[in-house]
Amino acid sequence: MSFRKEKGISRRDFVRLGTIGLAAVGAGCTLGPGGEHAIPPPTFPPPPPPVAPPPPIQLRLGLQSYSLRAFKFDDVVAKTKDLGLHYIEFFGAHFPMGMKPEELAATQAKLAAAEIKVDAYGVVGIGKDEGGIRTMFEFAKKAGFDVYTANPDPAGFDLLDKLCPEYGVKVAIHNHGPGDKRWGRLQQMLDGLKDRNPNLGVCLDTGHLIRAGDDVIDGVRKLGPRLLAFHFKDCNEQNSDVVVGKGKTDLVAFFTAVRDVKFNGPFALEYEIDASNPLPGIAESCKAINEAVAKVV
């Protein structure tokens, strides 16, 4: 087959020029009329980096020892270990303030062997006597915890403003539901803590707050940095305590709010049902909590 010229360009020249043009386009430029390089195509800035997702919630799930009120200290430690929990908030019957130094050392050794840390203590009354408050705070330092869940007298708040930072101890108001005239409602706690030291805050008992008629998730968001601890419960439509996950609390929405306010304090399950045989309900509640936390994104 012979090559023909059409308008002065042979077929061979046409193929050659086409190959050059494709190579030029592949190199990211275009050719001018005489084959010279033209202005390169416009460039665009790289897309912004993706927004980092919120950090996963870091929940220090533990147990309020009142959940095991029918048992002695050694049984409480053993059962808490069997549940796979590493944090506990003691109430006075299990861990009395009046222990002698050698008794305290013995209890601490048992807790260390079980890999359980005391991260809160309560619920205690706190008045306005400076000597009494100092004694309590010294016990906290010796025992190794830094949060008291408490029913504090507002008349002592000026002292607490001074002593909490001095000792590095926090006092968290514990609400006790509709019968609590001082701290039963969310707004009472918000008003009482206004302009106070950051070491004064709230241990939110979710069951009692529900029974008082306040919304728990709204309460978490309003309290924000004032949230120092939790006593966590779930309630049914009749406002009675139930196994966590079987009540009306939207657990994923709740823990999303907990994550959003950057809560990082003691989070104690307080299970008050079936005092003589609470472990099955506690274990089921812990499972529901962990599953809900895993869904927080």
Q: Return the pLDDT at 55.
A: 66
Average pLDDT, the chain: 88
Cα gap 61→94, rounded to integer Å:
19
| Closest among 245, 231, 156 to 192, alpha carbons compared | 156
CA distances from 245 to 151, 179, 271, 282 (A): 28, 26, 13, 11
Q: Return the pLDDT at 3.
A: 38
pLDDT class for 27, splitting at 50, 70, 90? very low
Average of per-residue pLDDT across 202-210: 97
> Token pair for residue 283?
């274990």
Contacts 24+ apart (CB under 8 A), 52-60: 53/297, 54/259, 54/260, 54/297, 55/259, 56/259, 56/296, 57/255, 57/258, 57/259, 57/293, 57/296, 58/264, 59/255, 59/258, 59/267, 59/289, 59/293, 60/87, 60/119, 60/264, 60/265, 60/266, 60/267
pLDDT class for 30, splitting at 50, 70, 90? very low
Class of domain 60-294: alpha beta
Burial (0-12, 13-18, 19+ Cβ within 10 Å), 285 = buried
pLDDT class for 283, splitting at 50, 70, 90? very high
> Token pair for residue 154?
């507002």
- Three-state DSSP at 137 gives helix
Average of per-residue pLDDT across 112-121: 98
Domain residue limits, the chain: 1-44, 60-294
Q: Return the pLDDT at 51.
A: 67
In DSSP notation, 153-166 reads: -GGGHHHHHHHHHH
Q: What is the per-residue pLDDT across 76-88, written as a single tens digit (0 to 9) for each? A: 999 999 999 999 9
Cα gap 53→55, rounded to integer Å:
6
| DSSP conformation class of 31 | B
Q: Has residue 267 got a pLDDT over 80?
A: yes
Q: What is the per-residue pLDDT across 150-202, written as a single tens digit (0 to 9) for each? A: 999 999 999 999 999 999 999 999 999 888 999 999 999 999 999 999 999 99
Q: Has residue 6 got a pLDDT over 50?
A: no
The pLDDT > 90 percentage for the chain reads: 79
- Three-state DSSP at 265 gives coil
Q: Return the pLDDT at 36.
A: 54
Higher pLDDT, 265 or 24: 265
Q: Return the pLDDT at 54.
A: 63
Q: What share of the chain is helix, strand, coil (3-state, %, to 5)?
A: 40, 20, 40
Give the bridge partners for 230, in sequence order.
204, 267
Cα gap 267→62, rounded to integer Å:
6
- Amino acid 157 reads F
| 39-43, 65-69, 222-226, 270-274: range with lowest mean pLDDT | 39-43
Q: Return the pLDDT at 52.
A: 65
Average of per-residue pLDDT across 265-279: 96
